[in-house]
Structure 1
C-alpha cells in the first residue's frame, strides 16, 4: 500500500514539474529542449495522450485559487491552492487510485529588488482546519515554485502558516482559505 501511494505521488509531482516546464518553454526561456512528455511514471492515466509539452493549461501559477499575495520576509510572494482532483479532471486525465492529499499549495517567490524568481530553498506549511487540527507539510522546490500537497478533507476555514528559508534569509506568511 505504501509503495502504491509513493508511486502515485511521484506521478503527481512529475506532472506538476512538467507543467512548469511547459511554462518556461512558452515564455521563450528555452525550457528544456529535447524534453518530451513520454514515459511511464507508474500511474495509469486516461485521456493523457493528447497533452503536449506546450499546453499552457498546466501552469501552476495560473491554476487554482489565489489565496495570498504580498510580502513574505524579503520576498514578494503569491500563493495558490489547487484542487488536484478537479485539476486532473479538467485536464482530461483520470487518476487510478486514491489520492491521500486533496490539494496542492504553490508558492511563487520573487526577489523584491531584482524581480528574480527564488528557485532554491526549503520550507514548511502548517495547516489548521475547521476542526482546529494541525497538519504540517514540507515545501519542495518544483520548477519555479515551492509546492506542498495538503489534505483539506471538509468544507470550512483553513489557516495556512508558511515558512520559507532561502539564501540565508527567512520569511513567513499567514493566510486563510475557505473551502466550499
Structure 2
C-alpha cells in the first residue's frame, strides 16, 4: 500500500512540473522587469524609438505622466505566444510603476485599475491592476490592430485619487 501511495505522489508531482514551470516563467518575466525598474534607463541596449513610444525587444514603454506628486511609467509586454501556448487569449501584460516625485521612491501599495478604449471606440469595464514586485499589472487582450487608449485610475497609499492616460498603436 505504501508503494502505491509513493508512486501516486510521484506521478502527481511529475504532472505538476510543466504547469509550475509555465507559471514561473511568466512570473519570472514580470519579476525581472520589476526589479530595479525605477533605475532603468530607456536608452541604448537595443531600444528604438517608434512613434513616440520606446521599444525594447517585446517591451514597449508607453511613456510617463505625473499627477499630484506621483509619476506613472507605463509599459506593455507582448505575451501572446506564451499565453496562447496555455490556451489563453490575452496578448499583452500591461504594467505601470508609480514613483513619489518628492522622494524618488516607488509607491507599491494602494489600488489601481485600467479602462481600455480600443480601435473600435468601445471602452472596457475597469480591470483591476494587481501589485507585482515594484509595479501594478494585468494581462489584457489587444487583438485588433489600431490605437488603444489606457486610462488608469488610482487610489494609492496616500488616499488621493489620481488619473493617468497613455496610448498605444499596435499592428
TM-score bracket for the superposition, by shorter chain length = 0.5 to 0.7
How far is the alpha carbon of 1:84 from its aligned partner? 0.6
Residue among 148, 157, 165 paired with 2:147: 157
Check 1:73–1:139 CA distance in 2 against 1; reply closer, same or farther (3 A cut). Answer: farther
Check 1:23–1:85 CA distance in 2 against 1; reply closer, same or farther (3 A cut). Answer: closer
- Does the 8 Å CA contact 2:69/2:102 hold for their aligned counterparts? no
Residue among 97, 101, 119 paired with 1:130: 119
- TM-score, structure 1 as length reference: 0.62
* Structure 1, unaligned runs of 5 or more: 1-7, 28-61, 89-93
Count of matched residue pairs: 130
- Does the 8 Å CA contact 1:140/1:148 hold for their aligned counterparts? yes
In the TM superposition, what whole-angstrom CA distance separates every residue of 1:100-142 from its partner, at most 9, and x where no partner exists? Answer: 2211111011111111111111111000111112213110000
Q: Does 1:170 align with 2:165?
A: no
Tell me the residue number matched to 1:102: 91
How far is the alpha carbon of 1:26 from its aligned partner? 7.8
Larger Cα-atom Rg: 2
- Does the 8 Å CA contact 1:78/1:109 hold for their aligned counterparts? yes
Q: Does 1:114 align with 2:103?
A: yes
How far is the alpha carbon of 1:74 from its aligned partner? 2.5
- Map 1:4-153 onto structure 2 (within 5 A): 12=23, 14-22=24-32, 64-85=59-80, 88=82, 96-135=85-124, 136-153=126-143
Question: C-alpha distance in 2, partners of 1:144/1:128?
Answer: 26
In the TM superposition, what whole-angstrom CA distance separates every residue of 1:1-23 from its partner, at most 9, and x where no partner exists? Answer: xxxxxxx8xx65x5454345446
In the TM superposition, what whole-angstrom CA distance separates every residue of 1:86-112 from its partner, at most 9, and x where no partner exists? Answer: 5x4xxxxx8633222211111011111
- Does the 8 Å CA contact 2:34/2:135 hold for their aligned counterparts? no
